[in-house]
Structure 1
Amino acid sequence: MKQILFFLLITSPLLAQTPTKLWTETDRQYTLDNLRRTRDELTRETENLTPAQWAFHESPDRWSIGEVVEHLALWEIIWAREVNEGISNKPQPDLNQTSKPDSFYAEWIMEPAPHQSPDYSRPTGFIEGKNNLAFFLKLRAQTIGFVEKTTADMRAHFGRTNGNGPRNMHQVYIFQWGHVDRHLRQIRKIKQHPDYPQATLSTK
């Protein structure tokens, strides 16, 4: 009995100091589901495109599907860097009391108004056709693998601030998969253009 009491006395302070995780397993699964869903939708939209379809431009100032997917791959790198920096910062769970809700980020990334891409995320156009998809898929697999295993509290770590205030790392992931949803809409619009090349039938 004395041993049990002694164990409780020495472990109780340690338990009291362990903070409750804000990022739940439900949050993790939600993130994984959407990372996989947007990966799969992008694959379905692009995996069977012809070279001409990959390279088609609605107009000289618009991106091709290949450039759109290259842009998405570049952002996979940018998001991963932001998450890495964020979880390296000291946890600041109190910032959740004054930061924007998740819905703000989900709505902002999907708004119909054009967004201006910064220079560092603009596509080069040097990557040919389906290699753009391979580029994206390799990076998305790394993200999914990380989210599956990480023990970081993604709702307690915050990254850089912007005009909308600080965002936690869970919200960065909302941007990441939501950004693909946004550009899936763009890809589907490109395919609806009257001059979009039609796939040619095989003549085997």
Structure 2
Amino acid sequence: MKFIVIFLFACLAGHTALPQRLWTKADQQYQLDNLRRTRAELIKETEHLTDEQWHFRESPDRWSIGEIVEHLGYWEMLFARDVSMAMRPKAAPELNQTCAPDSVHFAFIMEEAKHISPDFSRPLGFMRGKDNLRFFLKLRNEHIGFLEKTDADLRAYFQTTAPDRRRSVHQMYIVMWGHCDRHMRQILRVKAHPNYPKASQLTTQR
């Protein structure tokens, strides 16, 4: 009898010692809603562009819409690699308290100040028209598929951004769809340019 009591106590202690899951169903839905929203907005603004519209530049030093979407595709690919690397170590939920609040990452990616793209994510401009959108969508759909199915605690895995700073995988996804929001503003500025080709004057790209 004494052995049974000790065994039950040990099981109960082990159960109560399990770490509490930090990434909630609400967090998961928040990420999926925003990844789907930004995907839908990008499709809406680009799926019916003509070739001339895809490749119009406001000036020689500015990106075309095609190059902007190519750049977004690069970052979807880079984030996929970074998420994979962040989730290789053992989950460490205790480190979540050392991260800045989600609002810090949201404010950073949504700010109006210009961000300088590193050389490795600058578009090459070799893809034409809708190929840029197809490139982006392949990668975005993979991210959405992962978030739909994962049971991992995405607030317990981290990317180190500086020797004394880290962000959770959950926060990485905030930066991902926020990055898309930033460049949606850029696409709308290109389309608002007075010299932007009008669809009525052109043959729609098929």
Do both share a fold (TM > 0.5)?
Answer: yes
Query: Separation in 1 of the partners of 2:182 and 2:73?
Result: 14
Contact 2:50 2:202 in 1 (8 A): no
Write the letter of the residue equivalent to 2:69.
Answer: V
Structure 2 counterparts to residues 1-204 of structure 1, below 5 A: 8-9=8-9, 11-162=11-162, 165-200=165-200
Query: Separation in 2 of the partners of 1:111 and 1:202?
Result: 35
What secondary structure, in the 3-state scheme, does the structure 1 residue paired with 2:125 have? coil
The alignment covers a number of residue pairs equal to: 202
Query: Separation in 1 of the partners of 2:18 and 2:105?
Result: 30
Query: Separation in 2 of the partners of 1:202 and 1:172?
Result: 40
Query: Separation in 2 of the partners of 1:97 and 1:14?
Result: 23
Query: Separation in 1 of the partners of 2:163 and 2:51?
Result: 40
Per-residue CA distance 1:2-36 (angstroms, 9 max, x = gap): 9x978844632331232111001110000000000
Write the letter of the residue equivalent to 2:141.
Answer: A
Superposed structure 1 runs of 4+ greater than 3 Å apart = 4-11
Give me the TM-score of the superposition, normalised by structure 1.
0.92
Contact 2:71 2:123 in 1 (8 A): yes
Query: Separation in 2 of the partners of 1:167 and 1:70?
Result: 25
Q: Gaps spanning 5+ residues in structure 1: where?
A: none
What is the CA-CA distance between 1:164 and the residue it aligns to? 8.0
Write the letter of the residue equivalent to 1:105.
Answer: H
What is the CA-CA distance between 1:96 and the residue it aligns to? 2.5
What secondary structure, in the 3-state scheme, does the structure 2 residue paired with 1:196 have? coil
What secondary structure, in the 3-state scheme, does the structure 2 residue paired with 1:61 have? coil
Contact 1:87 1:152 in 2 (8 A): no
Contact 2:109 2:175 in 1 (8 A): yes
Query: Separation in 2 of the partners of 1:47 and 1:200?
Result: 16
Q: Which one has the bigger strand percentage?
A: 2
Q: Gaps spanning 5+ residues in structure 2: where?
A: none
Per-residue CA distance 1:51-103 (angstroms, 9 max, x = gap): 00000000111100000000001100111111111111232323332321100
Give me the TM-score of the superposition, normalised by structure 2.
0.91
- Closer/same/farther in 2, CA of residues 200 and 186 from structure 1, 3 Å limit: same
Query: Separation in 2 of the partners of 1:164 and 1:72?
Result: 28
- Closer/same/farther in 2, CA of residues 201 and 63 from structure 1, 3 Å limit: closer
Query: Separation in 1 of the partners of 2:68 and 2:164?
Result: 26
CA RMSD after TM alignment? 2.2
Over the matched positions of the two proteins, sequence identity in percent amounts to 56
